[in-house]
Every structure is written in structure tokens, then in C-alpha cells.
Chain A
Amino acid sequence: MESIPQYIQAIPLNHYILLCALIFSIGVTGVLLRRNAIVIFMSVELMLNSVNLLLTAFSVYRGDATGQVFVFFIMALAAAEVAIGLAIIVMIYRNTNSIDINVLNRLKW
């Protein structure tokens, strides 16, 4: 594992930001595009992960380990969120026999 730091060389910070922004906007597009509740949920996971990657990149850039601790907390939060969200989706499916989010318009108006 000592040889790994040699490979980390000279990637501009902007390229990390561009990559994470691109993946984040793919996640946003996925939320807007799909009607399946589970796929929407997966797009949210994609957004969370892109933020995690950017936090780690900044943490390495600044030489400060706090960013990586923060990523750890975000992962714990994501696990909790997935458990609750999937339970809600299962409950929706049991009540409406579909996970199409357009069925859930009773709170409209």
C-alpha cells in the first residue's frame, strides 16, 4: 500500500469538481426523468455519492482528514435513509399495487 501515493499525481482540482458536478447533474436528471420510485431513489444515491467523492477530493487537497470523517457520517445517514425509504416504497406498493410516483398525487392541492 505504500506504493499507491505515487499514482496520485497532478490531477487538477477542477477536474474532480467537473466530474462530481457531472454525476450530480446526471442524478438530478434521473430524478426528473423517471417515474419508478426505486430508480428515483437510486438517482438520489448517485447524488449523495458524487458529493462524497468531492468531499474526499477536497480533504486530500487541503490535507485535512475532517472531510473524510464527514463522508463517513454521510454514509451512515445514507444507510438510514435507504432503510426508511425502501420501507415507505414497500408500504406504497402494498396500498396502491404500483410504485409509479404519479399515483401519489393525493396531496396535490
Chain B
Amino acid sequence: MSTFYFIAFLSVFFSILVITAKNPVHSILYLILTFFTFTIHYILMNAQFLAIVNFIVYMGAILVLFLYTLMLINLNKDSEPLKSNLVKVAAYIGGACFFITIVSALKAFNTSQLVILTNPNLGLVKNLGKILFNEYLLPFEVSSILLLSAMVGAVLLATKETKTA
């Protein structure tokens, strides 16, 4: 039980570092650590499929893509012009207000039941695969079309325009 609180502390700590780090490369590395703690959260809830997918897709693919782009456009130095202090304070106040709104809405519930895994097979690949390919077959196929169109769009956007066009 205390594992959860330790990992939750680490998630919050690293995600604060993500938005405060001056160097964008450090920011990305902290984001990788944050996602790693999220993977541990999934394992603690016995959602094994999501843990693996989070590990492979987020930490393996998406963050490497971020790192690649950052190195491609060669901005790994502290070149970011900072916002004025007024805007910074406004940003912190805005974020805090958002958090306070959610917390006070949560207080209105006034009850907090425990998260208990009744069915240990819930998050296993076998169980999720059965649901995914029976009930959610159409959304699955549509998401494959989404990925294909995203790939085509990314290639189209990132290629240099020729002068003859």
C-alpha cells in the first residue's frame, strides 16, 4: 500500500520537473521517468496489458520521436526566451485554481471506497483481447485507419516543398 504513495510522489515530483526544467532535453528525460512511474501504477493495478503498451508505445516510440525531433531542429540549449513574471504567476494561479476546483468538487462526494481488484484476470492480455476483438472490433479497425492517415499526413507535412509545385 505504501508502494502506491511512494510511486505517486515520484510521479508528481518528476512531472513538476518536466515543466520547470530549463533545457528541453532534460524535460524529455524527466517525462520518460514520469511515464515509467505510470507503468508501475498500471502494474500495481494488475493492468498488465496497459503496462506493456505504455512501456513500449509511450516510452519506446513517442518519447524517442520527441527526442529525435528536438535533436533534428538542434534546440538542445537553454535558448528559450522566458515569459514575463506576470504571465508566470498567472499560469501558476491558473493551474492551482483548476486543481482546487477539482478537489472541492471531490469533497462534495464525501465518500471514498477502496479500489479492490475483484477479478484478477481483468487487465490480462487474454481478457482484453477477447473484448477488443468482439465488442470493439469496428473502433479497432477505425483506429488503424486513423494511424494510417496520421502517418500519411506526417510525411506530407514534414517533406520539403519543391519549388516547381
In the complex, whether A107 has a CB less than 8 A from a CB of chain B is no
**What is the total number of residues of chain A having a CB less than 8 Å from a CB of chain B?**
76
In the complex, whether B164 has a CB less than 8 A from a CB of chain A is no
Which residues in B have their C-beta under 8 angstroms from that of A13? 112-115
Q: A60 contacts B106, CB within 8 Å?
A: no
Which residues in A have their C-beta under 8 angstroms from that of B43? 4
In the complex, whether B165 has a CB less than 8 A from a CB of chain A is no
Which of chain B's residues has its CB closest to A63's CB? B118
Q: Give A45-60 as 1s and 0s: 1 = Cβ < 8 Å from B's Cβ atoms.
A: 1100100110011011
- Docked complex: A62-87 residues within 8 A CB-CB of B: 63, 65-66, 68-69, 71-73, 75-84, 86-87
Cβ of A57 to closest chain B Cβ, rounded Å = 6
Q: A11 contacts B50, CB within 8 Å?
A: no
Q: A76 contacts B19, CB within 8 Å?
A: no
Q: B118 contacts A84, CB within 8 Å?
A: no
Cβ of B9 to closest chain A Cβ, rounded Å = 9
Which residues in B have their C-beta under 8 angstroms from that of A90? 69, 72-73, 157-158
Q: A32 contacts B54, CB within 8 Å?
A: no
Q: B102 contacts A91, CB within 8 Å?
A: no
Q: Give B134-165 as 1s and 0s: 1 = Cβ < 8 Å from A's Cβ atoms.
A: 01100100010011011101110110100000
Q: Give B1-18 as 1s and 0s: 1 = Cβ < 8 Å from A's Cβ atoms.
A: 101110010011001101
Which residues in A have their C-beta under 8 angstroms from that of B75? 36, 38, 99
Q: B154 contacts A63, CB within 8 Å?
A: no
Q: B1 contacts A11, CB within 8 Å?
A: yes
Contact of A42 with B8 at beta-carbon distance under 8 Å, contacts A56-B42, A69-B131, A90-B72 already known? no
The interface of chain A, by Cβ under 8 A from chain B, is 1-2, 4-5, 7-19, 21-30, 32-36, 38-39, 41-43, 45-46, 49, 52-53, 56-57, 59-61, 63, 65-66, 68-69, 71-73, 75-84, 86-91, 93-94, 99-100, 102
